[in-house]
Amino acid sequence: MMSLFRSHGLFLPFIKRFPDIKICRVKRRSQGCMTTCTVIRHRWMKSSCWSISAVREFSSNASEKESLDMSKFPVERIRNFSIIAHIDHGKSTLADRFLEITGAIAKTASNKQVLDKLQVERERGSTVKAQTASLFYQHDGQTYLLNLIDTPGHVDFSYEVSRSISACQGVLLIVDANQGIQAQTVANFYLAFEAQLTIIPVINKIDLKNADPERVEKQIEKVFDIPKDECIRISAKLGTNVDQVLQEVVKRIPHPTARVEDPFKALVFDSTFDHYRGVVANIALFGGHVSRGDKIVSAHLGKPYEVNELVSVGCTNLTFDLLHFDILALRYAGQVGYIGDTLYLQKQPVEPLPGFKPAKAMVFAGMYPMDQSEYTALRSAVEKLTLNDSNVTVQRDSSLALGAEWRLGFLGLLHMEVFNQHLEQEYNASVIVTALTVPYKAVLASVKLIKEHGEEVITIINPAQFPDKSQVVEYLEPMVMGTIIAPDDFTGKIMTLCQSRRAIQKNMFYIDDHRVMMKYIFPLNEIVVDFYDQLKSMSSGYASFDYEGAGYEAADLIKMDFLLNGRPVEELAIIVHKDSAYSAGKAICERLKESIPRQMFEIAVQAAIGSKIIARETIKAYRKNVLAKCYGGDITRKMKLLKKQAEGKKKLRRIGNIDVPKDAFINVLKRK
Ligand SMILES: Nc1nc2c(ncn2[C@@H]2O[C@H](COP(=O)(O)OP(=O)(O)OP(=O)(O)O)[C@@H](O)[C@H]2O)c(=O)[nH]1
């Protein structure tokens, strides 16, 4: 492998960010022929390389193994579509069947949610990141190119859905034949409807004993105004009628209108970080084509870059993962490949595409290493992970008590948990996550503070920066419009739950004879941690919930501190509504008492507002002697027990001389 530094304009922003990368050119064997591509090597990349150029890859079925020149593929025979649905209604399973039918993967019993490739996805059994695949499909004697995007179903990832559909002309709206329309079905339908896409309703799981496709068709007609004869009944699991879905995709979804003769115009709609390939941005072409050596411009930065290499990679059956549209490598927030950015040829400027509204973080939490000596490793892990997940916002922060940390913004609690899981599993990083907060606002009264901040209204994402009441005109809290769908047996219980969360009902109607859809305005803080869990458990799993931002409203907020033996614990500080302060303080003290292991001395757990203590619990002294039951002299057994105890300690955060389990900071916020 020949390696040489090249200070190419395209790479400069990235090189600045990661000074220890090298750019090299390598020869790469692909489908038996050697192609040269430019790669970046980084000292943390163990093997292989990543192409950093406009790379064209697409899958091929058995009959079309050779690379194709996409600029010659007739646009009339291309279909771009997303699969959208409520969580677990069968999107990924349907994608498996599509991959099999088109020969992209061999048909085997082990094909289960093949597009869910991330470890967290496989462990949780749900999609957290939209995935793309390109398939060749024979219809009426002609080959069609079907570009599909499998999207996540959970509300925290709905931003992935809206970005994905911006690259499509149609969607398959999957609805479970047993569960019927659920809250995310409604939310996803409106995303596609507002984008004016063709919507094909697909009723899945008709093989289930309790399937009632007729009822679901009626719901679809009533709620979405789609005639029921447009619905396709399938079983993605058994493959029933799946081919019919592909035929309808070809017939009903219009082809893209992009023309090869037009100036090159592309929207960066997603990006991923791959340990071997590096950063890959997915672009949707809105016109023209791009070639090696072309000078392209990122509308976001207004800077020209050269497309270094254009590589056509003939694909084997197993490499369907990157096979979608044209793929242009390199992305770092604010750099080329910035999601929502438009790329065009320098010699043919075009109007930038509208792009995307930035994802709005719903919850913020501080994150810092268990041990400050691990800070550099954690920084590198966080940087790589945010390349894969542009929905996470990152701000550096530091505090006297915690040292260097980050304030990370997430789209919800699940999003945050998934991010942490990635950190622990892929980067072996052990972190403490502080109590989370929603983005509150304060209208400042103090002229001094306004000058300091340069604005009158500030957003507070860290309780430590909560301004005192004497310095503000008012505090504002974020609100959301929540949609709940549930069988009417549970209406009363759900209403009581919503009232206890300071919610105001806006609407309620029947979507069929037994199911109600309710709309409530909630303070975001009331639903973000544990509302969904409570709703699910009180409705025996039948209720579903989705929400979207609904602006800000004035609120009486206060900052509450928690003290262990008189010492404030910064990780635990929260901002709460005045009306719930006492009950929240009491409940959190009780939960802290349960989650902090008893130690050799007594611990006072207190909740305080300013200098006033509003709740207190006491953890009695205790010493756990792990060797107590270990009679005799079996030294190996003793060593094992002591090692286990030491490992357990790694999960503890030492505050003063008190050990607190590292997950306590989030868990104590969950109401029972
Ligand atoms: N009986 C039956 N089960 C199905 C069918 N399709 C999917 N499933 C099952 O439903 C569960 C969820 O399927 P997925 O394909 O992961 O659903 P999804 O919509 O991609 O889920 P998320 O990515 O989490 O939103 C899995 O256990 C599937 O095996 C079907 O046609 N019949």
Look at residue 243 in the predicted model and tell me its pLDDT.
96
| Ligand 1 neighbour 131 (Cβ under 6 A) | no
Interface predicted TM-score (ipTM) over 0.90: yes
For 593-620, how does the pLDDT look when each residue is reduced to its tens digit (9 = 90+)? Answer: 888 888 778 888 899 998 899 999 988 8
| Ligand 1 neighbour 236 (Cβ under 6 A) | yes
Cβ atoms of 578 and 558 closer than 8 Å: yes
Say how many Å lie between the CA of residue 93 and the centre of ligand 1.
6
| Ligand 1 neighbour 120 (Cβ under 6 A) | no
Whole-Å CA distances, 262 to 77, 265, 366, 524, 575: 18, 8, 47, 45, 53
- In the chain (672 residues long), the average pLDDT of successive 10-residue segments reads 28 32 34 28 24 28 44 78 92 90 74 62 62 83 87 81 85 96 92 93 97 96 94 96 97 85 79 60 73 76 65 30 35 47 86 78 86 81 79 78 78 87 80 87 86 86 89 94 94 95 94 92 91 88 90 95 87 89 89 83 88 89 60 64 58 69 72 61
Cα separation, 259 vs 262, in Å, equals 5
How far, rounded to the nearest angstrom, does the alpha carbon of residue 463 sit from its chain's CA centroid? 24
Say how many Å lie between the CA of residue 130 and the centre of ligand 1.
16
| Ligand 1 neighbour 178 (Cβ under 6 A) | no
Say how many Å lie between the CA of residue 97 and the centre of ligand 1.
12
- Per the annotation, binding residues are 85-92, 150-154, 204-207
Look at residue 171 in the predicted model and tell me its pLDDT.
96
Say how many Å lie between the CA of residue 382 and the centre of ligand 1.
31
Cα separation, 370 vs 639, in Å, equals 24
Look at residue 326 in the predicted model and tell me its pLDDT.
38
Q: Which residues pair with 517 in a beta bridge?
A: 485, 509
Return the amino acid letter for 512: D
| Ligand 1 neighbour 91 (Cβ under 6 A) | yes
Which residue of 88, 202, 414 sits with most ligand 1 atoms within 8 Å of its CB, as the best mutation to test the pocket? 88
Cα separation, 235 vs 232, in Å, equals 10
Task: List the structure tokens of 8.
Answer: 């190419």
**Distant-in-sequence, close-in-space partners of 538: CB < 8 Å, separation ≥ 6:** 490, 493, 494, 497
Domains of the chain, each with CATH number or no CATH: 70-252 (3.40.50.300), 265-345 (2.40.30.10), 363-433 (3.30.70.870), 440-555 (3.30.70.240), 568-669 (3.30.70.2570)
Cα separation, 233 vs 623, in Å, equals 62
Task: List the structure tokens of 451.
Answer: 């000058």
Cα separation, 573 vs 439, in Å, equals 14
- Per the annotation, binding residues for GTP are 85-92, 150-154, 204-207
DSSP assigned state of 265: E
Cα separation, 94 vs 118, in Å, equals 18
What size, in residues, is the chain?
Answer: 672
Q: Which residues pair with 442 in a beta bridge?
A: 458, 475
For 309-359, how does the pLDDT look when each residue is reduced to its tens digit (9 = 90+)? Answer: 443 332 222 233 333 333 343 333 334 445 677 888 888 898 888 777 777
User: How many CA atoms are closer than 13 Å to the CA of 261, on its beta-carbon side?
Assistant: 0
| Ligand 1 neighbour 152 (Cβ under 6 A) | yes
In the chain, the N- to C-terminal Cα span, in Å, equals 59
Classify 27 as helix, strand or coil: strand
